[in-house]
Amino acid sequence: LGLSADVEPAELYDTWWRIPALLGVAFANGWAEEIIVVGFLLTRLRQLDVSPGRALVISSLLRGAYHLYQGYSAGLGNAVMGLVFGYAWQRTGRLWPLIIAHTLIDAVAFVGYALVADHLSWLR
């Protein structure tokens, strides 16, 4: 899609704002996922008297499940990430370190792919 009828999708790929946009999306993903799946869900499960271990597994499986569209390995990797991040939040009660870590993971993946995709045909 384009910003106007005369802009081709390929032209959008080479715009000056490609990298800032990818970084913005990386932050939005990290912020939303950690607030909802860690902060909100684990808090709500605790309020419902779900044990911390069981809540951690539920939250992690949810995170893994909604990443399955990226493939089984991404689903499994995100479930493991959910265990680590959820446990860190249960121990510290701090979300910002998780948001920052998630943002960095996504930023490396998004920007890295954008920068090397044209040079590595097997990535497509």
Confidence of residue 12 (pLDDT cuts 50, 70, 90): low
Any domain includes 11: no
Confidence of residue 93 (pLDDT cuts 50, 70, 90): very high
Q: What angle do the packed helices 52-65 and 72-92 form, to 10 degrees?
A: 150
DSSP 82: H
Any domain includes 6: no
Any domain includes 109: yes
Any domain includes 40: yes
3-class secondary-structure state, position 66 = coil
d(CA 7, CA 47): 51
Any domain includes 104: yes
pLDDT of residue 10: 55
Any domain includes 101: yes
pLDDT of residue 91: 97
Q: Which domain does 108 fall in, by range?
A: 18-114
Any domain includes 25: yes
Confidence of residue 13 (pLDDT cuts 50, 70, 90): low
d(CA 47, CA 49): 5
Rounded to the nearest integer, the mean pLDDT of the chain is 89
